[in-house]
A and B are shown apart, each in its own frame.
Chain A
Amino acid sequence: MFVNARFAESVKMSEDRRVNRSSLAFAALVAASTVAISADAALTRTGTPQVAFHASGPAGMRIDGTTHDLNLSESGSNIVMAVPLANLTTGISLRDHHMRDKYLQIGSYPNAVLTVDRGALHLPAGDGSASGTAQGTMTIHGRTKNVSVRYAVIRGGGALRVSGSTNLDIRDFGIDVPTYLGITVKPDITVEAQFTATE
């Protein structure tokens, strides 16, 4: 789950446009960690986060999945963002069933977890914005891989609006490449998250 370049650009846009619906959760985690660096204060997630993944199939097929579940916590020097997958939906019930039970196997692996060291993040000291790329680890389907997370943080009104994204190959996490009735989804996906937190 990742922050894409679009997120970083959005930091410079108007406030309304910044809060892109598909960028919340992961970026929020990352942003939270950045805040921690500067303030060393605990982060509390507020509002409704959004975590999304974007997958594609042959010749233009698009699949977008979203959830509004994201838990933010701290473990030692790390910021930990855990996304429960039980409510991850793509708009088609049967596809969701396949995704959750056959591929993600959420009965055994209920969460996707991104962990980022606070020291890898940078936050604006006062009102303003910051963005960057941080290294972290992603755990999905019981497997943990190093990932590079693009993040952006906007501080204002006593809150941090965080977004981030990363690119994944689901095969790295031991997830079978989904195939249904002759259509095979590409293994490369983008994960985005947006959330708001306070220190």
Chain B
Amino acid sequence: MTFARRALPYVVACFAFAAVFFAARPARAFPWMIREGYTGCNTCHADPSGAGILTAYGRGMEEVVLRMPYTKNKDADPGKTGNFAFGVDLPEQLLLQTDVRNLVMAIIPPSGNAQVQDILMQLDQSAQLKIGRFRLNGSIGYSPPNITDASSGFTFTGGGLGATLTDAPGQYGAIVARQYWVGADIGKDEEFLLRAGRINVPFGLRVIEHPFLVRAVTRTDIDKGQQHGVSLAYSSEKLRGEAMAILGNYAIQGPPGHWDDPHERGGSFFFEWTPTTNVAVGGSGLVTYAAAARQDYDPSLDGTAPIVRQAWAVHARVSPVKPLVLLAEADVLNNSQNLVDALGGNYAVNHFGLAGLLQADVQLYQGIHVLAAGELYDGHIADHTALGSTYDSTTAVLWLGMWWFFAPHCDVRLDAVHSFGSAPGLPPLAEGTSLLLQFHGYL
């Protein structure tokens, strides 16, 4: 058994755990808003598939249905409180949003001392200018340099490092740009949006918890999973979806002479059908090819060989009663590589995986949410050589959190996350608990 294979379950478990540690939640994306009858995303977000800069209506709804009310009169109009900078009347063609998101995290291993980290996950300025049917949309942010206190082990880092325009933060930090695109609204009711640029990959549930395994292993999170490409989104009363031609993530590059190798080309899509205002079901697919696999995602891959990556998913959002929303997603994965053995023969290696998510969001009172989630990843490698074997691993992550939208433009969230895994002949993997306290504010 190769080191890579032995390391795979550790890698997956560590990935899940570390992803939590380095959780950078770049933008709001609340699929549980279906409890309010909002089955689609584009009335509240500039991105028709959700997340990112809010529309004027989205800002208003945050005040009306999301944050905790402090008045007995629930019919009170929030006025301009939700506006940019708490009251600025922007031209209707212009959207602006300044986000600050900070995470303080305590990593509690099964034995030993806890480690404390502070991550400035997001310091972004987002904007959209819409003239007629044409849009210019983007975000730019700053990721500070790392600071470590050797005596205590405390570290301070920035987020969004997979979306840097510059090199990884050095002495002066890095500039981050998660999204930037130009687009045109098409159709009588502008039900289509055609856009090109760096775009969130349409796939599965668009959740803010980008470390969720279903987002991480499919590389479709909204933190750093964006790709450059062209997409067409559609939104109607009962059906919405988006299809994207993926041309590669040019925020990364390969080594000299192979700069283009890690760039993926292919496509992805999702669709969602909402038969009623409290039920939505959908499906997704993703197929990409790259000349070289990215070992930063999965060290068990051969970084010098081409890779075909596939992911297929089904998902559901259901709000049986208004206080409760259930989110579920099941993914099937296959990362396939053709390798050359020592004798010059070709053989295929397939990394199969199954990932699942079930999350419950309970709104105890407007503005106060309790969230519980369970995640599972099960994977194995099929190596079609004479000495080939399969290797199985399982990773599970449990989340329990509370989220308080306590004031206009502000929310605070506390999560406890426990992660563990197993593999034949190996001890439990990366087992441990982390506590995450996150603050988010925006103008």
Contacts and interface: CB of A to CB of B under 8 A. Distances in A.
B341 interface: no
A182 B56 contact: yes
Contacts of A119: none
Contact of B42 (A59, A62, A180, A181): A59
Interface string A54-70: 00111111111000000
A91 B36 contact: yes
B141 interface: no
Interface string A2-42: 00000000000000000000000000000000000000000
B57 interface: yes
A90 B61 CA distance: 14
Contact of B240 (A60, A94, A95): A60
Interface stretch (B74-82, B299-307, B326-334, B373-381): B74-82
Interface in B61-81: 64-65, 74-78
A61 B40 contact: yes
A16 to B, nearest CB: 16
A61 B65 contact: no
A26 B74 CA distance: 30
A97 B36 contact: no
Interface in B32-58: 36-40, 42-43, 48, 55-57
B76 A94 contact: yes
Contact of B48 (A59, A64, A180): A59
A181 B190 CA distance: 17
A183 B44 CA distance: 10
A148 to B, nearest CB: 23
Contacts of A64: 37, 277
Given A60-B43, A60-B239, 16 more contacts: A56-B237, A57-B43, A59-B236, A60-B39, A60-B235, A60-B236, A60-B237, A64-B37, A64-B277, A91-B37, A92-B64, A97-B75, A181-B57, A182-B56, A182-B92, A183-B43
15 contacts: A58-B190, A59-B235, A60-B236, A61-B43, A61-B237, A62-B274, A64-B37, A91-B36, A92-B37, A94-B64, A94-B75, A94-B77, A95-B64, A181-B59, A182-B57
Interface of B: 36-40, 42-43, 48, 55-57, 59-60, 64-65, 74-78, 92, 189-191, 235-240, 274, 277, 322
- The 7 A-B residue pairs whose C-beta atoms are closest, nearest first, are A97-B75, A93-B74, A60-B235, A59-B235, A181-B57, A181-B60, A60-B40
